[in-house]
Amino acid sequence: MDISSFSNHCNKIFDKVVKDYHTVNSVTASCRNPYPKHSLDYLLYRKCWIDTVQWHLEDIIRDPAIDPAEALQLKRRIDASNQERTDVVEELDVLFYRKFSGVPRLPNAALNTETPAWAVDRLSILALKLYHMQVEAERKEAPSAAVCREKWEILLVQREDLSAAIDRLLADLKTGRKYMKLYKQMKMYNDPSLNPVLYGRKK
């Protein structure tokens, strides 16, 4: 893991995922991950693929003419996708933790507001926003193409800023200026033993 240009590495993988998905452009397409299983790049690719499919599921479910039964199926698929996304992010954080947990902390070392993987999660979403905003900016019949162009340029700045922040965070973790902890999202609604609607049905 080359932390000096890690964000650039992530952005290249995320842009590749978005391009790969749109060659098939189907929410039922299987993920053909080109990287070794359980490697960092595998997880980055998988993470962005989940985000990309879910992006399009969110578009589909907002169709006002959608059949209610289909919408319910999509909603449950989106719920499952959210859980899978969380699982992959937490798996990424385990890799970061293993890399930096042995670094001696400086006396004033502090925690960051978010872990490296959750920052990378935002970078993945930005790749999707950039792609789709550019599509709208270049769509000739789009009534707000000029506005979309302005938004696309703002998103570019956001990606540049977030990328720099991620690289700084990793540098701080490497030198002991910051340290990280592993956190779990502790989502309750997917757990039949913690969601009162689900465990109430057993009574």
Q: What is the pLDDT along the chain (203 residues), one digit of tens a residue?
A: 666 699 999 999 999 999 999 999 999 999 999 999 989 999 999 999 999 999 999 999 999 999 999 999 999 999 999 999 999 999 999 999 999 999 999 999 999 999 999 999 999 999 999 999 999 999 878 788 889 999 999 999 999 999 999 999 999 999 999 999 998 877 777 777 777 877 776 65
Q: How distant, in Å, are the alpha carbons of 2, 3, 119, 132 from that of 7?
A: 10, 8, 10, 20
Give the pLDDT score at 194.
73
Element (H, E) at 192: none
Give the pLDDT score at 19.
97
Q: Where are the domains of the chain?
A: 3-192
Burial class (CB in 10 A: 0-12, 13-18, 19+), 4: exposed
Give me the phi and psi of 110, to 5 degrees please.
Answer: -135, 160
Give the pLDDT score at 191.
73
pTM over 0.85: yes
At 35-78, the pLDDT tens digits run: 999 899 999 999 999 999 999 999 999 999 999 999 999 999 99
Burial class (CB in 10 A: 0-12, 13-18, 19+), 201: exposed
Give the Cα separation of 95 and 89 in Å (integer): 10
Instruction: Please give the full DSSP string across 109-129, using - where no structure is assigned.
Output: -EE-SS-HHHHHHHHHHHHHH
Give the Cα separation of 168 and 163 in Å (integer): 9
